[in-house]
Amino acid sequence: MPPDDRARTLRDALVDDLLRRNILRSPRVAEAMRAVPRHPFAPWLSLEEAYADRAWIIPGTTPEAPATLSQPTAVALMLEGFDLAPGQRVLEIGAGTGYNAALMAHLVGPAGRVVTVDIEAQLAEAARERLRFDRNVEVVHGDGACGYPPLAPYDRIVATVGAWDLPPAWREQLAPEGRLVVPLHLGGEAQDHVLVSFRREGPLLVGVGLCSLGMVLMRGDFAGHGRAAAFQNGPDWRGPPVPGLSVVPSLRVTAYPRGVPHELRPHEKVIEKPSVRLVLAALDPGEPSG
């Protein structure tokens, strides 16, 4: 079978599996994952490896500062939590190989715009080269915690690295009622995160937990994972620490910036971060979970 046909067959099989497992629910996201090939963003892998449902370390990155091509399951969950529409403006924190940005560029279309930021100059340059034919994508070298003010506000912001805190720039650069999807550290081991889909409501970010998963950690000024023990205050809301992902309890997460008061209710728990106070509670019966 010619390589292009083999790649298409493997890509369709991957998407069919994600649909069967109910990871993919949106026809638009499924179509994007069928349309955008994954293997050009991972030329060091075989076709079978490129379309396996697993993450891969990007060559040239170090154990101390690794970067990955994200697991397709995690990519699909992030896109599902995003609800991207044509014409929207998107900011991605962590360019990686550029694959996620290519998927989002497909979803927002020619009238939309995707900005993807990476702290590693080498990764940013390689992603820029792979995305050179996507005219609605801009690759920026910089600390993603600062966002990218020149093109703000953004309808959607997504972090493809595990975050310990929520940098103020993300909320400030998010459009009213915009969405922020971020793997957020809510306790437990440093690399265990809950994928939270937030919506901006005035000064607050109000979100729901989608799943738990292990992520490469964010670096830069807001990395902060080494200080986690000093700020952790509350329950461990993680799902079981299994490879890939696992289901988390039906969880509401509300981020209150410093200076915004909140009267804690008996059923709520708090995790204090330097930039925000995270208030955790179980979703009410019948409340949307995503």
Mind listing the pLDDT tens digit for each residue in 56-114? 989 887 666 678 898 999 899 889 988 899 999 999 999 999 999 999 999 999 999 99
171-175, 214-218, 263-267: which range is least confident on average? 214-218
pTM above the 0.85 mark? Answer: yes
Q: What is the pLDDT of residue 230?
A: 35
| pLDDT for 238 beyond 60 | no
| pLDDT for 11 beyond 90 | yes
Length of the chain as a residue count = 290
DSSP of the chain: --HHHHHHHHHHHHHHHHHHTTS---HHHHHHHHHS-SGGG-TTS-HHHHTSSS-EEPTT-BTTB--EE--HHHHHHHHHHH---TT-EEEEE--TTSHHHHHHHHHH-TTSEEEEEES-HHHHHHHHHHTTT-TTEEEEES-GGG--GGG--EEEEEESSBBSS--HHHHHHEEEEEEEEEEE--SSSTTEEEEEEEEEETTEEEEEEEEEEE-PBP-STT--GGGHHHH--S--------SSEE---SEEEEEEETT------TT-EEEE-SSEEEEEEEPPTT----
Beta-bridge partner residues of 192: 214
Question: Model confidence at 233, in pLDDT bands (50, 70, 90)?
Answer: very low
- What is the Cα–Cα distance from 92 to 69, expressed in whole angstroms? 14
Q: What is the pLDDT of residue 217?
A: 80
CATH number among 3.40.50.1100, 1.10.240.10, 3.40.50.150, 3.90.79.10, domain 3-282: 3.40.50.150
Average per-residue pLDDT in the chain? Answer: 85
| pLDDT for 290 beyond 70 | no
Q: What is the pLDDT of residue 218?
A: 85
Calculate helix-pair angle for 99-108, 72-82, nearest 10 degrees. Answer: 30
- What is the Cα–Cα distance from 184 to 281, expressed in whole angstroms? 15
45-49, 52-56, 152-156, 190-194: which range is least confident on average? 190-194
| pLDDT for 228 beyond 70 | no
Q: What is the pLDDT of residue 249?
A: 52
Residue 226 has φ and ψ, to the nearest 5°, of: -70, -15
Q: Which tens digits make up the pLDDT trace of 21-32?
A: 999 999 999 999
Q: What is the pLDDT of residue 234?
A: 35
Higher pLDDT, 208 or 61: 208
Report whether 82 contacts 103 (CB < 8 A): no
- What is the Cα–Cα distance from 178 to 95, expressed in whole angstroms? 20
Alpha-carbon Rg for the chain, nearest whole angstrom, is 18
Q: Which tens digits make up the pLDDT trace of 160-207?
A: 988 989 999 999 999 998 999 999 988 765 557 888 999 999 999 999
Q: Residue range 269-277: average pLDDT?
A: 89
- Active-site residue numbers? 70
How many angstroms separate the Cα of 266 from the Cα of each of 216, 251, 269, 270? Answer: 34, 16, 8, 11
